[in-house]
Structure 1
């Protein structure tokens, strides 16, 4: 996750707030409900978040990631692709 949506001024942007809530919930859910190890970091500016699994991930974590993507797609569909863009990278 990188950058701000630009839908509204900083602190008032519902898209940024929704994306942040979904991402934080996904990370907390993986940590709470699975045994998978992951690496996550938040940028100093608060506008970026990186999340990766260094090892093979469980079906539970895969489901949680799919749920995150579904939520992000729903935000994009509701507010417009100009405010939220996806780039998937598998490493």
Structure 2
């Protein structure tokens, strides 16, 4: 199961996330849920880096990504993070809640 937690600032605005684990939908290399989640997460991080001036911390390890905006998040970063979670929720609804858990 992929476990995802959201980081919010004092105003309740999303500023990052922690993603850990593997979906277990299929064998490694054939797991479309893991691939979809990874693609959304990596694209979001790359988009925030490329298209915004926000600064962030990123930690990666096997099956784990920890991303947190450390500057005041701009509207573009907020939109990209909201878009990420829209996509993640869509995957969760389409493939089953047993593969992605929000904590």
TM normalised by structure 1 equals: 0.90
* Structure 2 counterpart of 1:78: 94
Size of the aligned set, in residue pairs, is 85
Q: Which has the higher helix share?
A: 1
* Structure 1 counterpart of 2:50: 32
Q: Distance in 2 between matches of 1:25 and 1:77?
A: 20
Q: Which has the higher strand share?
A: 2
- Any stretches of 5+ residues in structure 2 without a counterpart? 1-18
State yes or no: 1:14 paired with 2:55: no
Shift of 1:54: 1.4
TM normalised by structure 2 equals: 0.80
State yes or no: 1:58 paired with 2:74: yes
RMSD: 0.7
* Larger RCO of the pair (alpha carbons < 8 Å, separation 6+): 2
Write out the 4+ residue segments of structure 1 that deviate beyond 4 Å after TM superposition. none
- Any stretches of 5+ residues in structure 1 without a counterpart? none
Q: Distance in 2 between matches of 1:26 and 1:79?
A: 21
Q: Deviations over 1:19-53 (max 9, x none)?
A: 0000010001001110000111211x2x1111001
Q: Distance in 1 between matches of 2:65 and 2:98?
A: 20
